[in-house]
Amino acid sequence: MNSVNLLIAFGGGIFGSAIGSLAAFEFVGLLVIVMTVTQIVSGNASDFINFPFGMFGPHSGGFAAGVAATAWAAKRGKLVSGREIGVGLSGLGAYDVLLIGGVFGALGYGIVSLLNQLPALPSGGAWTDTVALTVVISGVIARLAFGKTGLFGRPQTGVNRYHPPQEKCWVPYHSRLPQLAVLGLGIGLIAGYLGLQFGADGALLAFGISAFSLILLHLKTQIPVSHHIALPAALAAIASQSLMWAALVGIVCAFVGELASRLFLIHGDTHIDPPAVTIALMTSIINLLAMFGLFSVLPLL
Q: 229-282, pLDDT tens digit by residue?
A: 999 999 999 999 999 999 999 999 999 999 999 999 999 999 999 999 999 999
Rounded CA gap, 157 and 219, in Å? 33
Rounded CA gap, 73 and 96, in Å? 9
Q: Is the model's pLDDT at 1 over the cut of 90? A: no
- Helices 177-198 and 243-260 sit at what angle, rounded to 10 degrees? 130
Q: Is the model's pLDDT at 301 over the cut of 60? A: no
The DSSP bridge partners found for residue 270 are 82
Give the whole-number percent of the chain exceeding pLDDT 90: 89
Q: Is the model's pLDDT at 298 over the cut of 80? A: no
Average pLDDT score over residue span 57-63: 89
Rounded CA gap, 277 and 132, in Å? 7
- Report pLDDT digits (tens) over 107-154: 999 999 999 999 999 989 999 999 999 999 999 999 999 999 999 999
Average pLDDT score over residue span 1-28: 94
- Report pLDDT digits (tens) over 161-179: 999 999 999 999 999 999 9
Residue 153: CB atoms within 10 A of its CB come to: 21
Rounded CA gap, 254 and 258, in Å? 6
Rounded CA gap, 146 and 86, in Å? 18
Tell me which amino acid residue 73 is.
A
83 or 156, higher pLDDT: 83
Domain boundaries defined on the chain: 3-297
Q: Is the model's pLDDT at 299 over the cut of 70? A: no
The structure's pTM equals 0.96
Give the whole-number percent of the chain exceeding pLDDT 70: 99
CA dihedral 201, 101, 2, 135 (to 10 degrees): -40
Residue among 232, 224, 234 nearest 193 (CA): 234
pLDDT of residue 300: 60
Residue 95: CB atoms within 10 A of its CB come to: 10
3 exposed, middle or buried (CB, 10 Å; 0-12, 13-18, 19+)? exposed
Rounded CA gap, 104 and 110, in Å? 9
- Report pLDDT digits (tens) over 63-80: 999 999 999 999 999 999
Secondary element (H or E) of residue 4: helix 3-19
219 exposed, middle or buried (CB, 10 Å; 0-12, 13-18, 19+)? exposed
Report the mean per-residue pLDDT for the chain.
95
Q: Is the model's pLDDT at 92 over the cut of 70? A: yes
pLDDT band, residue 223 (cuts 50/70/90): very high
The DSSP output letter for 264 is I
Contacts of 23 (CB under 8 A, 6+ apart): 86, 88, 215, 218
pLDDT of residue 60: 87
pLDDT of residue 62: 81
